[in-house]
Amino acid sequence: MYQELDPRRGPLSREEKGFLFIFVLIVLGLFTAEVVTDYTPQKLAIVFFMVFWVPMLVIHELGHAAMAWFLGWHVGEIVIGMGRAVKSFWLGGAYVEIRMLPLTGFVRSVPRDLKWPRLKLALIYLAGPGIEFVVALTLLVIVGSETMFTASNDYGIIAIQTFALVATIGTVMNIIPQIARTPEGWLANDGLGFFRSFFLPIEVFESMLGWKYRPNDRRWDT
């Protein structure tokens, strides 16, 4: 979560954006063909799953950022997706970057003081899957367990069921401890980061005090 960033290529060129647009059209066309062949309302769950994955990913990463802000940490970067950058902007004091493939993301934050830093870091890690769990639980309470777990031809119910499924899958995937290699280095997922937070030396937090994120240099600095 706190490794210094490696240099990365810049935003997409016009040609790359055109290729991405054509690729997305092809994929959506193939899914549309599958849905309309021997159509049943339940097949729309495939489309709903794809559509809901992106907003759930945004909710997940904003959950991390919101918890960090609430605990008084400085949020320097919020990344949605992986691969090349498509768009970037500032959200408060955080640099937000939208990347080509909306499959995963991360938030980088640093403490402003040394009050309970291990616990605060653990809560920041937990906030992502935690908010996904809250979304799934809220939908379950709204529609009831019988409706949630019963096949339906109602488009609204199918959408709710699929959104709850996306939130549940996100919760499980993120809470099981894992580590993955990314262009930003080896990054612990939320589950591993949560448990590891309690064993980090206090010097790790001391070294990050006063850091600010500088997007032009792709690095943290004082």
Domain assignment of residue 73, yes or no: yes
pLDDT the model gives residue 221: 63
What mean pLDDT value characterizes the chain? 83
- Write the pLDDT tens digit of every residue in 139-177: 999 999 999 999 888 999 999 999 999 999 999 999 999
Domain assignment of residue 207, yes or no: yes
pLDDT the model gives residue 183: 57
Domain assignment of residue 116, yes or no: yes
- Write the pLDDT tens digit of every residue in 61-86: 999 999 999 999 999 999 998 878 88
Distance of CA 91 to the CA centre of its chain: 16
CA dist., res. 210 & res. 44, Å (int): 49
| Predicted confidence (pLDDT) at residue 26 exceeds the cutoff of 50 | yes
pLDDT the model gives residue 72: 94
Mean pLDDT on 121-137: 97
Give me the percent of the chain exceeding a pLDDT of 70: 78
pLDDT the model gives residue 143: 95
Q: Regarding predicted confidence, which is higher, 23 or 160?
A: 160
Domain carrying residue 164: 14-221
Question: What is the sign of the dihedral through the CA atoms of 55, 56, 60 and 63?
Answer: positive
Instruction: Residue 64: name the closest of 173, 189, 154 by CA.
Output: 189
SS3 215: coil
Domain assignment of residue 103, yes or no: yes
CA dist., res. 212 & res. 77, Å (int): 10
pLDDT the model gives residue 2: 31
| CB-based contact 208:74 (threshold 8 Å) | no
pLDDT the model gives residue 191: 94
Give me the percent of the chain exceeding a pLDDT of 90: 51
Mean pLDDT on 17-39: 69
Domain assignment of residue 5, yes or no: no
C-alpha angle 128/134/136, rounded to 5°? 105
DSSP string, 111-133: -SS-SSHHHHHHHHHHHHHHHHH
Q: 139-147: which pairs have CB atoms within 8 A and are 24 or more residues apart?
A: 139/163, 139/164, 139/167, 140/164
| CB-based contact 129:76 (threshold 8 Å) | no
pTM listed for this prediction: 0.82
| CB-based contact 107:65 (threshold 8 Å) | yes
The domain total for the chain is 1
Q: Regarding predicted confidence, which is higher, 83 or 17?
A: 83
| Predicted confidence (pLDDT) at residue 187 exceeds the cutoff of 80 | no
Domain assignment of residue 111, yes or no: yes
Question: What is the sign of the dihedral through the CA atoms of 66, 69, 73 and 74?
Answer: positive
Domain assignment of residue 2, yes or no: no
CA dist., res. 113 & res. 206, Å (int): 8
pLDDT the model gives residue 188: 79
Mean pLDDT on 183-207: 86
| Predicted confidence (pLDDT) at residue 10 exceeds the cutoff of 60 | no
Domain assignment of residue 9, yes or no: no
Instruction: Say which residues have a Cβ less than 8 Å from residue 211's Cβ, sequence separation at least 6.
Output: 74, 76, 110, 220, 221, 222
SS3 109: strand
